[in-house]
Structure 1
Amino acid sequence: MALSETLVLTCVVALVSALAVLVKNRLFPVGEDEEPREDVAEYIAMMVSVLYALVLGLCLVSVWDTRSAASDAVQAEASALHQTYLLADVFPTAQKQAVRNAATAYASYVVHAEWPLMVEREPLGSEGWNLLGQLRDATWIRGSGNTKQQIVAQELTAQLSNVDDARRSREAASQESLSSVLWAGLIIGAVLTIAFMFLFGIERTTTHVVMVMGLSGFIAFTVLLIQQINVPFGDLFGANSTPFTRYFSV
């Protein structure tokens, strides 16, 4: 969902809420002998609002942590892969080119084949692991090798282990989502919080409309924001493939 669509939906929710206030005040006007507000309703509304704010905060923290973990995994994977590419310089020309070709092929597959799957939360399959295996095979020393090559081979093993770990973290992050229990709390809490605004007998319709529009619009925007961040590799707030494209021409 694009930013413009999010703003449009927020405005629609606010306008619908305002229309509901107008209809409510037309059908059930505040009488002269009616209390402007009741203490019990005010207390309950306050408690619901506080609890809902806690749920909103918990959801925002949860989805942002997932998004941050996904971004960190991508950066770590791309950085380790780039180090592998650079360290191959100590090998003979043929092997050096084989390592660099394998690293570039892996980066290209991640960016062009796996990224659209992660946006849609689809399984990534085994092809990426196969390409990583080919890269690992390309880093093995042919023959005894000199001391420098042997030292670099050990460092390459460590870097490929980092790529492996970061890839597992990226795959896990692509499948993570906000708990259905928290989603239920978000929706139910939003409905209750807005509904309680209709319990108060506010005589000035304009004031009532502005209050309900502001509250409902802000809640709608926050829920939509959580929905966007809940996609760790989404287009709007998700982690992107820039770390790979920065290091590799893919």
Structure 2
Amino acid sequence: MALFETLFVVLGVALVAALAVFAKTRLFPVGEDEEPREDVAEYIAMMVSVLYAVVLGLCLVSVWDTRASADDHAQAEASALHQTYLLADAMPVAQRQPLRDAAQAYARHVVDVEWPQMAVREPLGDSGWTLLARLRKASEVDDSAKVPEQIAAQEVLAQLGYVDDARRGREAAAQERLSPVLWTGLLIGGVLTLAFMFLFGIKRSTTHVVMVMGLSGFIAFTVLLIHQLDSPFGEMLGASPDAFTRYFG
């Protein structure tokens, strides 16, 4: 469901509720001997606060899981690439340095080129996959290789398979973002929660001001935190390329 469709449904439900209240007050007006019911307003305010807390928790869990998944994919990719680099020592002499150079080039490309692109959700293109294909080419051995060298080549191919899988996961995580439906609930719920704080409940003005300031500041902090975590490779709270720089300098 698109953002505008969500807003349309929410506004439609709110309008129907408003019409129902209007019809009730017109058809069944409050008598002169009846007192206004404040408990209904307090119940509605409480329910809005509870539902908003649920939406906040859902948003936080969603963006944190995406960020953690992005970090896990990067760690797995860097670890498998490092194992490939180390296995070069068991390859035929003529292939050792080309394999190391290909691993170093891939790591530099991820850190220097792809990480800034992922931070702003730009497409990564095919350069990384080309470098990965170069790695696979450098790990190939012919039939004249010794048995230990052929075993090492098979292990290199297995590690490159892990690199491939982790890279696909990293690319997918870089494009994930919080659902527009959740963003709509996050913003509308925050406005409603603060609005009820202004309308109901507190009689002393100083206490009211302090509570509204505290709640509004906390809501703003939480929304900004979700916004930062919604970029899994962002500069502030996103996953860092430390795994690659630790292994490959």
- TM-score, L = length of structure 2: 0.84
Tell me which residue corresponds to 2:100: 100
Aligned pairs (5 A) from 1:55-74: 55-74=55-74
* SS of match in other structure, 2:199: coil
Amino acid at match of 1:119: A
TM-fit CA distance, 1:197: 0.6
Tell me which residue corresponds to 1:110: 110
Distance in 2, matches of 1:63 and 1:181, equals 14
* SS of match in other structure, 2:140: coil
Distance in 2, matches of 1:124 and 1:213, equals 43
Q: Could you say what the CA RMSD is over the residues aligned between the two structures, in angstroms?
A: 1.3
Aligned pairs (5 A) from 1:30-179: 38-179=38-179
Which digits, 9 at most, give the CA deviation of each residue in 1:8-48, with x for residues without a partner? xxxxxxxxxxxxxxxxxxxxxxxxxxx9x921111000000
Distance in 2, matches of 1:240 and 1:45, equals 41
Which digits, 9 at most, give the CA deviation of each residue in 1:80-111, with x for residues without a partner? 00000000101233310000000000000000
Distance in 2, matches of 1:135 and 1:201, equals 67
- The answer to which of 128-137 and 142-151 deviates more is 142-151
Amino acid at match of 1:131: L
Distance in 1, matches of 2:194 and 2:96, equals 64
Which digits, 9 at most, give the CA deviation of each residue in 1:114-149, with x for residues without a partner? 000000000000000000000110000144211101
Amino acid at match of 1:128: G
* SS of match in other structure, 1:75: helix
TM-fit CA distance, 1:225: 0.3
5+ residue gaps, structure 2, are 1-34
Distance in 2, matches of 1:201 and 1:130, equals 64
- TM-score, L = length of structure 1: 0.83
Distance in 2, matches of 1:136 and 1:125, equals 19
Tell me which residue corresponds to 1:211: 211
- Runs of 4+ in structure 1 off by over 4 angstroms are none
- CA contact 1:77–1:163 (8 Å) conserved in 2: yes
TM-fit CA distance, 1:50: 0.4
1:223 matched to 2:193: no
* SS of match in other structure, 1:198: helix
Tell me which residue corresponds to 2:239: 239
Distance in 1, matches of 2:201 and 2:130, equals 67
Distance in 2, matches of 1:186 and 1:243, equals 34
Distance in 2, matches of 1:206 and 1:93, equals 79
Aligned residue pairs, count: 214
* SS of match in other structure, 2:198: coil
Larger radius of gyration: 2
- CA contact 2:139–2:156 (8 Å) conserved in 1: yes
- CA contact 1:70–1:173 (8 Å) conserved in 2: yes
* SS of match in other structure, 2:216: helix
- CA contact 1:41–1:199 (8 Å) conserved in 2: no
- CA contact 1:48–1:192 (8 Å) conserved in 2: yes
TM-fit CA distance, 1:153: 1.1
- CA contact 2:56–2:186 (8 Å) conserved in 1: yes
